[in-house]
Amino acid sequence: MNKKILVTGGTGYIGSHTVVELLNKNYDVVIADNLSNSYQSVVDAIEKITGVKPVFEKTELTDQEQTQKLFEKHSDLAGIIHFAALKAVGESVEKPLDYYHNNLSSLINILRGALKHNISNFVFSSSCTVYGQPDVLPVKETSPIQPALSPYGNTKQIGEEIITDFAAANHFKAILLRYFNPIGAHPSALIGELPLGAPNNLVPLITQTAIGKRPLLKVFGTDYNTPDGTCIRDYIHVVDLAKAHIIALERMLENRQKMNVEVFNLGTGNGFSVLEVINAFEKNTGIKLNYVNTSRRPGDIEKIWADTTYANTELGWKAEESLDEMVLSAWRWECHLKESF
């Protein structure tokens, strides 16, 4: 009998790639998503890639009754991977109540369901934004947590605290995964980053500019204290990130955890600047990108990249894909979108 896993936010960017990896490893998957920032057609794309159609339950996870019904219908879950959240840093500054309500009440409803149905294997989608601008780089899991720079980042910090307190009270197991900058798309080009409306993130804006959906790309700031003056981030291929979730889940399923709650940085350990990403895109696609240098974007930190030692040695996971493959896969996805719509 295959183990059944609940993936909240499973039609979203990282969630859909994780569902593919779960199905490839013969798990049964239930996706719960409210489709506020994704499309149900992603379920069909996942089926095309894996040959298996995951169960899809349209669910408003901020609604306690709907969430209870979800758990009653699927009371035989072996684990939960919780992605569902609003995640646009800039939007969270404009609409803080939406972010605190959505991200925290959905988490609490999911934890209530997990407690009631005794599901104690819980993977949480966290973020490197909890570190703010680290004083020391690369940043370790033990690096100090800085005051959040946005309500989005604060919901991730508070989410980690809620899970930690809940786990202590209920002998519950959880693994918190702090993502750096996920980019790229599945090699099939059938799933990828598909934001409703205008994207906020660098790479979809690069590919949309290159394909002609946008006239130009703005480079936010060239006066940072970095080699080429632009911000540095630790970009990680979304498939590498997805695979880490399966490894974390199986660490719990096989009782290999050393603490009730464990935290891992999911990055490559390499930092690349905005201009280096643009250059990698131009080199790999042969497309000259139309971009202009503009002023800094409020809220941006200057540079961050991960110390991945703990995830490499303790989790037994290491990111494998290069920046070249990341930008190429993102471009193939953008081209697929153009053919599909």
Site for ligand WQD in 84-113 (CB under 6 A): 87, 89
Taking the alpha carbons at both ends of the chain, their separation in whole angstroms is: 39
Per-residue x/- track, 172-191, ligand WQD (CB under 6 A): -------x-x----------
- Is 152 tagged catalytic? yes
Supply the minimum distance, in Å, between the C-beta of residue 255 and ligand WQD.
29
Interface with ligand WQD (CB under 6 A), residue from 201, 208, 222, 322: 201
Among 34, 37, 102, 127, binds ligand WQD (CB under 6 A): 127
Site track 271-300 with ligand WQD (rule: CB under 6 A), x = hit: ---x----------------------x--x
* Count, residues in the chain: 341
Indicate the helix (H) or strand (E) that contains 285. Answer: helix 274-285
CA 304 to chain centre: 17
Binding string, residues 222-241; x marks residues near ligand WQD by CB under 6 A:
---------x-x--------
Pick the closest to residue 149 from 134, 170, 136 (CA basis). 134
Closest separation between CB of residue 297 and ligand WQD, Å? 5
Cβ neighbours around 249 below 10 Å, total: 25
CB of 233 to ligand WQD, least distance (A): 5
State the number of binding residues for ligand WQD (CB under 6 A): 20
Contacts of 259 (CB under 8 A, 6+ apart): none
What is each CA distance from 196 to 13, 39, 64, in whole angstroms? 11, 9, 26
Is 14 an interacting residue with respect to ligand WQD (CB under 6 A)? no
Which residue among 29, 219, 252, 319 contacts ligand WQD (CB under 6 A)? Answer: 219
d(CA 154, CA 132): 10
Stretch that binds ligand WQD, among 34-42, 72-80, 101-109, 213-221 (CB under 6 A): 213-221
Say which of 152, 179, 224, 235 is annotated catalytic.
Answer: 152
Residues 119, 78 contacting (CB under 8 angstroms)? yes
The pair phi, psi for residue 95, each rounded to 5°, is -130, 65
* Contacts for 40 with CB less than 8 Å, ≥ 6 apart: 11, 56, 58
Residues contacting 242, CB < 8 A, separation 6+: 14, 17, 18, 20, 21
Which residue, 118 or 144, has its beta carbon nearer to ligand WQD?
A: 144
Q: Which residues are catalytic?
A: 152
Binding site for ligand WQD (CB under 6 A): 87, 89, 127-129, 179, 181, 200-202, 205, 217-220, 231, 233, 274, 297, 300
